[in-house]
Amino acid sequence: MTRGAKIERVQHALGSVAAPWITTEDSGPIACPLEQLAEILGLDVELVEAAAQHVAPYTHADGSLVWSVRQVGVLLGVRKAHYLTTSAKRRYEAAKRRRAATQSRVG
């Protein structure tokens, strides 16, 4: 992990970064909310929620909960869930662009 990614994670833990997930520069999020987790894994939210009941979530300083992409992915039988495959990374980047476009229209 690069120094910048470490600093970003620390800032996020302190609440000074607006992103609602923990991320690394190279591989996308390592922990995120269930809706985003379902999007990354390419599965239904209901299925991911059922699997997430068996995984302890991480709690951010602001009280929000995030789940490990790898742990939930392993429970669901998604291979290589500890990093994003090329297709999953493309889906993640597309969703990120859609969120940014939506936020720019709203705000």
Residue type, 98: R
Whole-model pTM above 0.75? no
For the CA atoms of 31, 5, 95, 104, what is the dihedral angle to 10 degrees? 120
3-state secondary structure (DSSP) of residue 25: coil
In this structure, which amino acid lies at residue 82? H
The dihedral built from the CA positions of residue 58, 35, 79 and 9, taken in this order, carries a sign that is: negative
What is the rounded distance in angstroms from the CA atom of residue 6 to the CA atom of residue 59? 18
Each residue's pLDDT, cut to its tens digit, for the chain (107 residues) gives 676 666 666 656 655 444 445 555 555 668 889 998 888 888 889 999 999 999 999 998 889 999 998 888 888 887 654 455 566 667 777 888 888 888 887 75
